[in-house]
Structure formats: C-alpha cells, structure tokens
Structure 1
C-alpha cells in the first residue's frame, strides 16, 4: 500500500465552531462499520480547513482508530459521495493521496472493503479498550496490481454502489414530501389558513379539502383548527414494551424473528427498519418479556440514545430500552409515526434520570399534542402511503444489492468471476 498512497492525518477541531458554515467533518461517525460512507450524523465546521485536510467528492479516507472491541471501524474506508461538496478529516481519520496512475483509486477503495483486508486490520489491532492500526501496518497491506478482470469487477461494484446511492437519494426526496405534508396539515394548518382567507387549499381535492375547518379556536397550546383537540399524547397511542431473552441460552438466539436495538435504527430519511443485527427464536420470545410487534409499528428508543424512531418493515421484537407505539383506533400508523417524530424534541426535554436520559410512560402522559379528527388523519395516511411504501421497496432493493456486492467483494482478490458473467451482472443491475 505504501507504494500506492501517502497518508495525511486529520487534526482536532474546535467544538464551538460545529454547525457553522463550512465543510462537513469526516470522522469516525461518517464511516459505516466495515467500510462505506455514513451521512446520517454529518456536521459542518466553521473553523480552519487547509487544503491538505480537505476532501472532495470521490476522495478516500480511512479510520486508523476504533472505540469498540468489534474493530468494525478499525481501518474502515469511506469515499466522499457527490452530495458532499467538501469535507475535513479529523484526528481520527486519514486522507489517502494516490501516487500511481496505474492503480486506480476505485480499485483501492474496493480492495479495502474485502474480507481479507478486514481480517488484516483485526490481526494488526493495537490496544484493548481503544484500538488503533499503526500507519506502517496499514501501508504494509499488500496491493496486487489490478488486471483487466479485477477492473471489471470494480466497475460492477461501482455500479452496485451507484444504484444504492440513487435509492438513498430517492428515499430522502420521498420522505421529505411526506414530512412536509404532515407539517403543512398538522403543524402549520395551511389548509385551514387558506380557507380562513377565502382561498381554496392548494393541492387538495374537494373531498380532502372538506375535512379541514375554516376557523380556529382557542386552546392551551394557542389557536388550533376548530373541532380539533389538545390532549396528552398517551391518550391517542398504545405503548408496548420489549424484552431481551437470556443471552446465555443459544436456543433463544439466531432465529427467524428480527430483534431491534438502537444499533438498528434507520436514518430519518429511510424511516423503516427491515433488518436487524440480531434475531431471536420463538422459544426466546416465549421465555422472556419480549413480544412480536406487527409491521408498521413505530419504535422509539427510550434510554441511552433517546428519540431514535423506526417503522417496522416486518414483524419483529425489540429490547427493553425501546417502546413500541401504535395509534388507538382511528389514528393510523403513518400519522402516529410523524406525530412522534414532530414531538421528539419535546420528548427529549421531558426525559428523566441523571445517568442516562430516558423516556418513560409518564413522559407520554405529560406531553400535550394537537390532534385532528380521525377522518383527517386517515386521509393523511392514504396520501403518504405510496411514498413510504416506495421507500420500503427501495430499502429492500438496496439490501439485495448490498448482498450481491458483499458476495462479489472476495472475488476481487480471487478472480473467480469470469469477465462474461461479470459484464452480464453489471448490465442486469443497470436495467
């Protein structure tokens, strides 16, 4: 590797300048476990960012540290995507600069995503609590000179990645549309304001428009649409608890039932959780407090990392650090999800405890929200359902593509896949 790249380690940054205009910080939080870019927690930085620390779309950087014992981030690589116009490496990440034109950066990127490289990083880990990978060990990783076969595999991997990224961007657009509709109807009351001004609500058919009143009324939360109500969030939802089967019982684990923990929480734009890191068996469910929730149940994390939300894309169980939430009859799954999402900031303000922030049942009882009549919330669910179902379909497709990608990665070193099969696979992905 040392014959192909040079390394530029990032530097520390000033916390007071986070969130100010500037490049995004590309530290450990911007890298997925075992490699890949992660953009669900990016923060901009308004401080100094010299060119040697700056990354542009297509640039590559790695983590030579890890704060977990799994070493999933140790040596993990990421590539700056097109939508991140500028980034800055931190003290935990290293920028790669390429010195040879006969070894493309895309080849190195995928080489450092292979299982062989991941095993190499774990074998060379230094430390017990905080792991590190020495620069000389990283630079000593062998890099076979790519042949035509390997470069064709790289093109296929890039095609898979491009399709996954396209799905991610599409999901962001679809989710923004659903969120904007909730904001317009149930927070800003745009249709009611339009009627009050003697105008026809924009974008609504006659039947949906008729569900909105033309006047406001006073409430404990200020002016709200006439006929709507203010009540505790707990009055409109059913709270469900989770549990954890005994970890020392192998018959309770690795079954067919997904088991959700905060690690499985999706990004806000992905909404759904369709796969979990761990799974349990029916025996594990029957011998613990865990229970199986139907699809389209909202999960909210209540301890540790508070306020992460997910819609279950398939029946699943969850641990005791979460609540499952379903609307009472008349209040649908999507309305319930977005109501909780809009209330998340308030929920965090109502957390209890000194060691960990927590959300308790009392939190839901003390948080007052504005609720429209069931006919209107049902109309919302019908309107956003196609958007959210497309998000779920995109996630399922991306998971399938990622499975193909992960199966293809080892062949980058073995050369098992023929050129003809590789080209046919790539054409199928494009179609």
Structure 2
C-alpha cells in the first residue's frame, strides 16, 4: 500500500448543481429518490416529472446518491445524461485523480453509508450532511489499481445484473400467461370461435386478433382447455366474463393481514427477533431486503405471501422470501387456494388498475382493509387457478433460486468491497475468490 494515500471525497470529486430546464428532458431521463432502487439495484422509470421549471442535470458516469434516509443505500452510476431531483446528490469524479467506478464503489460501501447515517441531520426525514460527506476520508491507490479493483467488483455486479434480467424475463412470461387467461380470456375466446358462438361486441376486437393468429395460436393441453367455458355472460360489475365465473371480491377470495407497526424502540439491525418490513422502501425486484428486525412484532406474513404497499404508492408488491413481521405500510395477501403464484400476479394486475385510477385523478394516498377487500376478484375458478399455478410456479421457483444466488453474490461483493477499496485485500487474492464463484 506504499502508493496509496488518504484523501477526502471533496478533494477528488465535487457535488455538481448544474441546472437544466425540465422541458429539455424526457421521463426516462429523470431520477429522484423515488426511482433509485435500494441496495444498488439500479433505477426504474419515474412516476412523473416535477412541476419545477429547472432541475439538476447529470452526465453519464456521474454518481447519483439519494440523500434522504441514506441507509436505503440508493446509489447509481449514471449510464446516460439526465436530470435529478434536489434530494439526489450528483458526484462528479476528478478523472485525473479517481476513476468514476472506483468513486462509485466508495460511495456504495457500507462504511460510507453508515457514516452518512451517523452525520445526517433531521429526524422525520434525515438528510445527509453535505459538508460531512465531502470530508469523508478514503484510501486512494493509483489509477491502474483503481481500474483493477473496479473490474473485480464490476464482474460480480455483472453476474448480479444477469440474474436480475433472467428474473425479469421469467416474470414477464408468467405475467403474460396470467393476462392471457384471467384478463384477455384468450382460452375462452378460442373455444367460442371454434364453436361458432357469437363474441360480445366489447370483446370482438380481441376475438379478431385471436382469429388472425390462426395456427400461430399456441394450443393448450386438452385437460387445461377443458377447464375453460366457450361462452361469455354479462355482469353489471365487470361487463362480459367467462360463463360460470363469478364476480366476487378480494375479501371473499383471499386471506388478508393488515400490518401494524410495533414501537420504534423494538427495531434493530442486529438480527434480534424477526425480519420486519415497513413499506415499499424495503422492496426489491421481487423480494424485500432484510434491513430491520423487530423483537416485539405485532402482525406477521408467512413465507410466500404477497406483500402489498397500502400507503403511497399504493399497490406495489413483493413476495415474502421468509416468515416476517409487517408494519402499517404493508399488508400480506394469499389466495384461499394457497397459490402463491396466482396471488402475486393477481395483485400485480391490481397495481396497474390502481395506477390507472391515479392517472384519472383519483389518488390513493392509502387504502384501508375495507377498501382493499372490496376490490373485485373472480370466484369459482379454483381448477383454473390450480392449472395456472402448476405452470407458473416452475418459473417462480427458478426466480427464487436466482434470487437466492443473487443475494449470495451481493453478500460476496459487499464483503470484498471494503477490503479492496481499503487495501486490506489485494487484487490477485480477490481475483482468485471471484474465479471460484
């Protein structure tokens, strides 16, 4: 470590506050504390652009750091030019001193995150202290060694990202099947067309699309086809639905547990008690991130339950990877058939409906148990749910395996990260560890 030296974040980077007109950016370019995902999981599409005339701009390779409740570890190495909200700090590396990727890993380290939490200001919405952040000291090696260290950590991040993309593809396949059966009623349309039955006017466009596919329509096994009717009936609540299906609601078809928050004094980060999730901020792509534990839990969710956010933004969902306790920002849901897969994709579909209400001007700041249980659901379709579960659960099992591997890779990266950027572990040793993964 003879060529390593101590510097502060402020000596090798700056927090930039360049402004750009909101009219010059697209929704896909806007980053806020809302759409940076926790625990280094990247970014997602923002729910909307701000009303302010100007926002902070950023460039590709800047590091964006969510400065509210920094313990969520929302850090992103920008892959494009764009704009950010005021509570997102935009770090720009001095390229003569530090590689942007090396700076990113320093700002992602648990040591730095813990420091920002300790030095934060405010209680309800604690924000990182910019002066303290810029005074944080790091060990800085030569540029070539920075590049080698970033490459090792980047290799692990690439494997993590590959697993995420595989999971997204698998989930899209299962969600597509759910939509085909329970939203578009494709199997019923196919049987109605084959039998020569009249297609109701609101469904005729879908029927024509199915007919146009001809032999390209993927035939279901006969035992599954037999589960679906070949006619539609009209209902006041949902319009035309498959014959024999009943209009019901979530309260009748699902078991629902509303969360309840224990006293804050019972929370800890030392794995004492049971995993505790408070709201959407704990959510990952499919499973929440273990961060807080609770020694005196009030309400519980079982492994495999769908967790839904009941406070803004209402309707976001994850799945409990383990038994856990839930706070007032969440509820736990499971269809009475016990199908984890049907429950999850049904609630994801409901999220789209809640979003459409918001775009129409009805904003759900929260949803209570009575409102949730009153939402429509189909009844008398247990055999079809069972068939769906048999198909989709195999994909969901692959997603779970990938997610557990992803968790292991993330833990390995987070173990190597502080040792590499501090010089405790040298590049050749780390390369051997990564090669064995």
8 Å contact from structure 1 (residues 237, 327) kept in 2: yes
Q: Distance in 2 between matches of 1:203 and 1:101?
A: 61
Q: Distance in 1 between matches of 2:115 and 2:394?
A: 45
Q: Which moved more, 1:118-127 or 1:373-382?
A: 118-127
Number of aligned residue pairs: 402
Q: Distance in 1 between matches of 2:272 and 2:52?
A: 50
- Aligned residue number for residue 174 of structure 2: 178
Residues 374-427 of structure 1, C-alpha deviations (whole Å, 9 max, x = no match): 111111111111221222222221221121122212213432224442111121
Q: Secondary structure at the match of 1:112?
A: helix
- Aligned residue number for residue 186 of structure 2: 190
Q: Distance in 2 between matches of 1:207 and 1:355?
A: 43
- Aligned residue number for residue 46 of structure 2: 42
Q: Distance in 1 between matches of 2:278 and 2:90?
A: 33
Task: Select the structure that is richer in helix.
Answer: 2
Deviation at 1:137, TM superposition (A): 6.3
- Aligned residue number for residue 64 of structure 2: 62
Q: CA 1:147–1:384 in structure 2 vs 1: closer, same or farther (change >3 Å)?
A: same
Select which of 256, 260, 278 maps to 1:261: 278
Structure-to-structure mapping, 1:255-294, within 5 angstroms: 255-263=272-280, 265-267=282-284, 270-273=285-288, 275-281=289-295, 284-285=296-297, 289-291=298-300, 293-294=301-302
Residues 4-34 of structure 1, C-alpha deviations (whole Å, 9 max, x = no match): 44553243765xx69x84542123334456x
Q: Which moved more, 1:147-156 or 1:392-401?
A: 147-156
- Aligned residue number for residue 210 of structure 1: 226
Structure-to-structure mapping, 1:380-391, within 5 angstroms: 380-391=388-399
- Aligned residue number for residue 78 of structure 2: 80
8 Å contact from structure 1 (residues 31, 73) kept in 2: no
Deviation at 1:335, TM superposition (A): 1.2
8 Å contact from structure 2 (residues 267, 292) kept in 1: no
Deviation at 1:190, TM superposition (A): 1.1
Deviation at 1:278, TM superposition (A): 1.9
8 Å contact from structure 2 (residues 268, 293) kept in 1: no
Select which of 337, 343, 350 maps to 1:343: 350
Q: Distance in 2 between matches of 1:24 and 1:251?
A: 36
Q: Secondary structure at the match of 1:410?
A: helix
Q: Distance in 2 between matches of 1:11 and 1:169?
A: 33
TM-score normalised to structure 1 length:
0.78
Q: Secondary structure at the match of 2:334?
A: strand
1:159 lines up with 2:176 in the alignment: no
8 Å contact from structure 1 (residues 9, 89) kept in 2: no
Q: Secondary structure at the match of 1:173?
A: helix
Q: Secondary structure at the match of 1:310?
A: strand
8 Å contact from structure 1 (residues 295, 312) kept in 2: yes
Residues 307-353 of structure 1, C-alpha deviations (whole Å, 9 max, x = no match): 22222122222124432222224x62221222222223556869xxx
Q: Which moved more, 1:117-126 or 1:86-95?
A: 117-126
Q: Distance in 2 between matches of 1:144 and 1:204?
A: 60
Select which of 322, 326, 332 maps to 2:330: 322
Select which of 392, 398, 401 maps to 2:406: 398
- Aligned residue number for residue 89 of structure 1: 84
Q: CA 1:256–1:428 in structure 2 vs 1: closer, same or farther (change >3 Å)?
A: farther
In structure 2, runs of 5+ residues without a counterpart are: 1-8, 195-213
8 Å contact from structure 2 (residues 314, 366) kept in 1: yes
Q: Distance in 1 between matches of 2:280 and 2:381?
A: 35
Q: Which moved more, 1:224-233 or 1:300-309?
A: 300-309
Q: Distance in 2 between matches of 1:294 and 1:127?
A: 35
- Aligned residue number for residue 233 of structure 1: 250
8 Å contact from structure 2 (residues 314, 367) kept in 1: yes
Q: Secondary structure at the match of 2:108?
A: coil
Q: Distance in 2 between matches of 1:46 and 1:113?
A: 27
In structure 1, runs of 5+ residues without a counterpart are: none
RMSD, aligned α-carbons:
3.9
8 Å contact from structure 1 (residues 27, 90) kept in 2: yes
1:111 lines up with 2:111 in the alignment: no
Q: Secondary structure at the match of 1:162?
A: helix
Q: CA 1:252–1:152 in structure 2 vs 1: closer, same or farther (change >3 Å)?
A: closer
Q: CA 1:142–1:345 in structure 2 vs 1: closer, same or farther (change >3 Å)?
A: closer
Q: Secondary structure at the match of 2:431?
A: helix
Q: Secondary structure at the match of 2:64?
A: strand
Residues 207-239 of structure 1, C-alpha deviations (whole Å, 9 max, x = no match): 222222222122222111122111222111122
